């Protein structure tokens, strides 16, 4: 029998933070968490969009207005500041926000934008929020990846800058590989430390959001942006459907630590199910190296 949002248990009393929750997958994830009783924090970089999303989510869910947290994952100072603004225990962190296939750009800290936002920003955020997560009874971290991680066979410390060898889709895929390497290494470290923190991953398949077109529009490629947006809407599943694997990973009571969840139909669309990362994503030695590089880059560590 297929899993649906009707199977989400009562989340009353649980406190969740979702990054990139002003639209798309993050918005739909936040909406269902609210509907099932969770207190939700929307973490995003645009205060105006965050305020509008909070109002919309409250109206759509019939629940109290979500808390809003200013967070720019491409700026490690912003990540640190956001973490200090939270003081209550945190039951769930959904590392959802992302950047897809823009022209070459650097973060505030000088890293390639996609690896800097999609991986390093979330790495630093998770590490800084770890004390709050460990104060919860059953803390969980869900990190979003993509089936695009299957298109690359490795990652190196040089990819953090990628100044002389940038290819936008290759860089995106490596950032998504980094998400999985991080998720699985966080699981290993939590278990080695005897922690009850559960680390899991998810990917949406091919979902209709503004992420695909937004990357092209960063470089002023309005025609490419429009074509990508049209094609996505034509063949992709909805953002609500794309959020199902994230919600499954975030709420299934007996989920196995280190699980990875994706759509059931060739990982393209459909109800969520457990899927397998590539061998590269499961490479424990590569994950340890990535962790070390990430600590060096962000100046923060966990476990």
CATH number of the CATH domain containing 261: 3.40.50.720
Alpha-carbon gap, residue 94 to 92, rounded angstroms:
6
Find the mean pLDDT for residues 193-218: 78
Is 264 a member of any domain? yes
Write the pLDDT tens digit of every residue in 74-88: 999 999 999 999 999
The mean of the pLDDT values for the chain is 92
Alpha-carbon gap, residue 120 to 132, rounded angstroms:
19
Name the residue with tokens 């860089």. 171
Q: Which of 154-163, 202-211, 230-239 has the lowest mean pLDDT?
A: 230-239
Is 51 a member of any domain? yes
Phi, psi of 138 (to 5 degrees): -135, 70
Is 302 a member of any domain? no
Is 165 a member of any domain? yes
The count of other CB atoms within 10 Å of the CB of residue 3 is: 18
Residue 166 binned pLDDT confidence (cut-offs 50, 70, 90) = very high
Is 3 a member of any domain? no
Write the pLDDT tens digit of every residue in 266-284: 777 899 999 999 999 999 9
> How many distinct structural domains can be found in the chain?
1
Write the pLDDT tens digit of every residue in 10-41: 999 999 999 999 999 999 999 999 999 999 99
Boundaries of domain holding 286? 10-297
Is 242 a member of any domain? yes
- Cβ density class 61-97: b for 16+ within 10 Å, e for less: bebebbbbbebbbbbbebbeebbeebeeebbbbbbbb
Question: Could you give the residue numbers annotated as active site?
Answer: 145, 172, 176
Alpha-carbon gap, residue 253 to 231, rounded angstroms:
36
Is 256 a member of any domain? yes
Which residues, in sequence order, are CB contacts of 220 under 8 Å at separation 6+?
Answer: none
Strands 269-274 and 260-265: antiparallel
Is 60 a member of any domain? yes
Phi, psi of 249 (to 5 degrees): -65, -30
Tell me, what's the pLDDT at 236?
73
Is the per-residue pLDDT at 234 higher than 90? Answer: no
Token digits of residue 240: 């609500």
Which residues, in sequence order, are CB contacts of 190 under 8 Å at separation 6+?
Answer: 196, 197, 198, 199, 257, 303
Which residues, in sequence order, are CB contacts of 199 under 8 Å at separation 6+?
Answer: 140, 141, 143, 183, 184, 186, 187, 190, 257, 258
Closest listed residue to residue 176, CA positions, set 204, 155, 148, 153: 148
Closest listed residue to residue 115, CA positions, set 52, 168, 189, 40: 168
- Report how far apart, in Å, the C-alpha atoms of 280 and of each of 155, 167, 216, 283, 287 are: 9, 20, 28, 5, 9
Residue 120 CA, chain-centre distance (Å), reads 11
Is the per-residue pLDDT at 159 higher than 60? Answer: yes
In percent, the amount of the chain with pLDDT more than 90 equals 85
- Helices 168-192 + 122-133 axis angle, to 10: 20
């Amino acid at each position: 029998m297929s899993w649906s949002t009707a199977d989400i248990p009562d989340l009353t009393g649980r406190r969740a933070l979702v990054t990139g929750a002003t639209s798309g997958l993050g918005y739909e994830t936040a909406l269902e968490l609210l509907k099932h009783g969770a207190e939700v924090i929307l973490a995003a970089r645009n205060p105006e969009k965050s305020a509008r999303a909070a109002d919309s989510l409250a109206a759509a869910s019939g629940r109290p207005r979500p808390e809003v947290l200013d967070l720019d994952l491409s700026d490690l100072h912003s990540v640190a500041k956001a973490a200090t603004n939270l003081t209550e225990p945190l039951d769930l962190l959904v590392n959802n926000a992302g950047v897809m296939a823009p022209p070459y750009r650097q973060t505030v800290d000088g890293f390639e934008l996609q690896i800097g936002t999609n991986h390093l920003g979330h790495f630093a955020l998770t590490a800084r929020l770890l004390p709050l997560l460990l104060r919860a009874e059953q803390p969980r971290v869900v990190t979003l990846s993509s089936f695009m991680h299957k298109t690359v066979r490795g990652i190196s410390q040089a990819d953090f800058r990628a100044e002389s060898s940038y290819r936008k889709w290759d860089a995106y895929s490596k950032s998504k590989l980094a998400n999985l390497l991080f998720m699985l290494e966080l699981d290993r470290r939590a278990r080695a430390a005897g922690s009850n923190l559960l680390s899991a991953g998810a990917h949406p398949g091919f979902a209709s959001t503004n992420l695909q077109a937004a990357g092209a529009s960063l470089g002023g490629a309005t025609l490419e942006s429009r074509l990508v947006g049209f094609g996505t809407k034509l063949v992709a599943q909805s953002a609500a459907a794309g959020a199902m694997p994230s919600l499954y990973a975030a709420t299934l009571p007996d989920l196995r630590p280190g699980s990875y969840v994706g759509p059931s139909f060739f990982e393209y669309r459909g109800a969520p199910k457990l899927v397998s990362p590539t061998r590269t994503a499961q490479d424990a030695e590569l994950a340890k190296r990535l962790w070390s590089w990430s600590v060096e880059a962000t100046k923060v560590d966990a476990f």
